[in-house]
Every structure is written in structure tokens, then in C-alpha cells.
Structure 1
Amino acid sequence: MTRDAIRLRQVVRRFGSGDAAVTALHDLTLSFTAGTFTAVMGPSGSGKSTLLHCAAGLDRPTSGSVLLGETDLTALDETRLTLLRRDRIGFVFQSFNLLPTLTAEQNVALPLRLAGRRPSRGEVRAVLSRVGLSDRARHRPQELSGGQQQRVAIARAVISRPEVLFGDEPTGALDSSTGREVLRMLRTLVDDGGQTIVMVTHDPVAAAHADRVVFLADGRLHGTLDTPSASAVAARMTRMEATAC
């Protein structure tokens, strides 16, 4: 049986108040199946990042609910929400956000150390091996390529075995060849490790690595596309952008 890793129910996210209020998400109901890779796309200002931040517990909806498994994130206070994000959610940003004075293995181990755990070297090396960097464990970020730095950031995000890994344009700062390398690695995390991944991207080629693409327009669901190809995604985006003009 399939199960939902994340469910959004009638989520509204509004910024500001009165006449200046802007609604970024309108009554959005959406689910992400466990063990699948979903890409989120839409024109600029469509609410992609807001959706990601609400789903990951980084931002609170104005109304509606967000469930991680059976846990309602919107019912948690800030302390419990922080602990949940630490233990059950991984997040990868476009900028790698690695600490420059730490080696790759030290950067990967950091979340566990901040949580009061002392990870074994074997545990850290195993995660680095999963992202193809077992031979770069003692290198600092400046000694790594952009793609290698992003893979370290992904290893850091998955070492706590999160239920969902979120990516906000994780290949946006990489050249196309290196980006494809990182995307293949994300695909492997899903196929071989059963990881759930939700990724915001503007790139149809990146989206084609996903099982499903979710399209947003003006903060509303604008359809989905299963088993996407880059050409089909690009055609859908072209139609959406033409409609918006």
C-alpha cells in the first residue's frame, strides 16, 4: 500500500494585511506519496517556494493544515516544530551552506552533533559513500567542485534519515553537466533508498528526473504530470506562461 509522506489540506498563506495583503497560496490541497520524487514548477511568483517552506515546516500557513505522516505541523509550538524539522525533515538549498572551516565529513556530521549525538566515522563515511564522495571525506569546501559541495550538503541533509528531503533549486547554482550528476544521485536516493524528495525547480530537464511534476500558477494547483519528459514539461510551462500574459 502507498502512503502519503506529506499532505497539505486547504492551505492558505497570506503575507501582510488589509489592502496590502498578498496571498501566495490559495486553498491548496496536495499530497506527496512516500518513496517518490516530485518536482514543483510554475512561473515566477506562483508560490513554489512558499509551498516548499510550508510543507517543510519552515513557514506556517495562514490557515489549513500540513501533515508529516500523521503529525500536524500546524498544531506544534515552535520548540516541537524545530525538533521535528531536525529529526524528520531534510532541506537542501541552492547555495550549499557548508561551513568553510570544516571538512566534508565534519559538515555531514554537524546536524547529529547539534542534536547531541556523536556519530561514528563509519556512519558519516557510509552517507558520503552514498553520494559518491567517500574519497573526499577530509576535503574542505574550497577543495571541492560545486557539484561535490552540493552532494556534501545532500549527505548532511540525509544523515538523520529524514522522512522527506526538500530541495529549493538544488541544481540552480550548478552547470548543466554537474546538475545532471546531482539529479541522478537524487534519483538513486529514491530508487535504492526509498527516500521521499520534493524539489522546486525551473528547469524542465531537472523536472524530468522526477516521478511527477506539480504545476502552480498564482498560488493555485494548475495540474500535475506523471512520468514527465523534459519536452512535455517545457510545453506545459510554455502554455502556462502564455496564459499568464
Structure 2
Amino acid sequence: MNDDAIQVRSVSRRYGSGDSAVTALDEVSLAFPRGTFTAVMGPSGSGKSTLLGCAAGLDRPTSGSVVVGGTELTGLSETRLTLLRRERIGFVFQAFNLLPSLTAEQNVALPLRLAGRRPSRARVREALARVGLGDRARHRPTELSGGQQQRVALARALITRPEVLFGDEPTGALDSQTSREVLALLRDMVDREGQTVIMVTHDPVAASYADRVVFLVDGRVHGELAGAGADGITAHMTKLESVPC
């Protein structure tokens, strides 16, 4: 089995046509090894979220290919793409996207119910316990702090036991202390359970929890750092923001 959870091969993504066309990604090639934590950073408009969308099968590249765990996404029907995302990929966003009328355990169980499966209460409680909320299963979102709501969202993403967990600014709506707690939880899942995490962030402190940081500028890869601290990442970002277009 290939050691890469995801391979992005010469992926370009263009929007529009003619003189008004915008190139969001330009011949990007990246590999994301299994059991690693990768942060993706870059100035505003650099293509971070577009890269995440293409890698996760949420968006289709204009050219190039994406391989998820040996499955080539190019050419898959929308139905097969939906099944792949549902069964093999997890998502956590800045907005928690919890249903306010449901309890924590009902929110966590929702992906399996939408897939026509009946999750066992033990499995749901196990997912909540993984994120430190085993005692909050019956609480509704309004009864939980922002950090706790994001932990419920994380448990919901993990209930399907995904091969890859994608985060799009997952700590962007949290205070610094709560953000560190969620990031430490992600780091622990990588180290102890071999989870693969790919996270888009603008925050150098958040990125410092990753094994490596990949930098994008104008839709192209502009290097990466491995094992860097927040200060080193900040310094690199400062250089990138002065890169001429």
C-alpha cells in the first residue's frame, strides 16, 4: 500500500473563461503521507481553500489528478464522490455547523444516520470520549462552550473513522487557550492513533502543531517547513507576503 493518504498531481483549478478567468491553483503537486499532520498556509487568495476542496473531492480540478488512498478521483461520478467523502474523509470547519435542536450525541451520530446506518450508542459515546466530552452526550450546543462545540464537530467528523481529516480554519472561531486544546487533541490523534490531518490555517501558532507547513502563493507551492515553531513560520510568511505577483 502506498504510504501517501492523498496525492495531488499537477492540479490546476481555474474559474471562469477568457479574459476574466481566474487561476486559483497552478500545477500544484503535493503528497500527504499517512499518519502525518500538514498545515497549509499562504496570503489571502493564495489558493489554500481551493487546494483543500480539490484534495478532499469537494471541488473538481480543471486539470491534473487527485488520488485518495489509491482511488483516482478524476472521472468519478458525483454519487461515487459523495460516497467516498462520506466513508473515507472527515471535515471540520471554522463554523461548528451543529444542529441546535440535537444533543451532542445526536449531532455526532448524524453522518451515519444520513448514510442509512444505525450507529450504536457505544460507538457514539466512544467518539465523544475521544475528544474529552464523554460526560456531555446529552447536552445541546447552546449548553456547550465554543471549544466544546468544536470538539463535538470533531467527534462527528471522526465517527466514520475517516482515512483523512480535513480542517479549514478549525480553530478560527476559538480563543487562544481553547484553540490550543483543540490543536493538542489533533496532534495527539496523529501521534497516538495514526490519523492523517490536513489543516488550512492563517495562524502560525496553529501551524506549529503540524509536522510540516506547506506554503502557497498565487496558487503555487512556495516551499515548506518541517518541525518549525511559530516564530519561524511567521518569519517565512512575512517573506512570502513580499513575493511579487
TM-score normalised by the chain length of structure 1? 0.98
Distance in 2 separating the partners of 1:244 and 1:99: 44
Which residue does 1:28 correspond to in 2? 28
| Corresponding residue pairs, total | 245
Q: Report the AA paired with residue 112 of structure 2.
A: L
Q: Report the AA paired with residue 170 of structure 1.
A: P
Instruction: Say whether residues 1:70 and 2:70 are aligned partners.
Output: yes
Moved over 6 A (4+): none
Q: Report the AA paired with residue 106 of structure 1.
A: Q
Q: Report the AA paired with residue 196 of structure 2.
A: T
- Secondary structure of the residue aligned to 2:242 is helix
Which residue does 1:83 correspond to in 2? 83
Structure 1 residue 21 displacement after superposition: 0.1
Which residue does 2:212 correspond to in 1? 212
Which residue does 2:128 correspond to in 1? 128
CA shift digits 1:15-71 (9 cap, x unpaired) = 000000000000111110000000000000000000000000000000100000110
Identity %: 74
Q: Report the AA paired with residue 135 of structure 2.
A: D
Which residue does 2:242 correspond to in 1? 242
- Secondary structure of the residue aligned to 1:74 is coil
Runs of 5+ unmatched residues, structure 2 = none
Distance in 2 separating the partners of 1:103 and 1:192: 28
Instruction: Say whether residues 1:193 and 2:193 are aligned partners.
Output: yes
Distance in 2 separating the partners of 1:108 and 1:190: 20
Which residue does 1:159 correspond to in 2? 159
CA shift digits 1:203-223 (9 cap, x unpaired) = 000000000000000000000
Which residue does 2:19 correspond to in 1? 19
CA shift digits 1:68-124 (9 cap, x unpaired) = 011011220100000000000001110000000000000000001111111111100
Could you say which structure has the higher helix fraction?
1
Structure 1 residue 2 displacement after superposition: 7.1
Q: How does 1:90-169 map to 2 (within 5 A)?
A: 90-169=90-169
Distance in 2 separating the partners of 1:242 and 1:177: 31
Structure 1 residue 243 displacement after superposition: 2.4
Distance in 2 separating the partners of 1:235 and 1:112: 43
Which residue does 2:173 correspond to in 1? 173
Runs of 5+ unmatched residues, structure 1 = none
Distance in 1 separating the partners of 2:142 and 2:199: 26
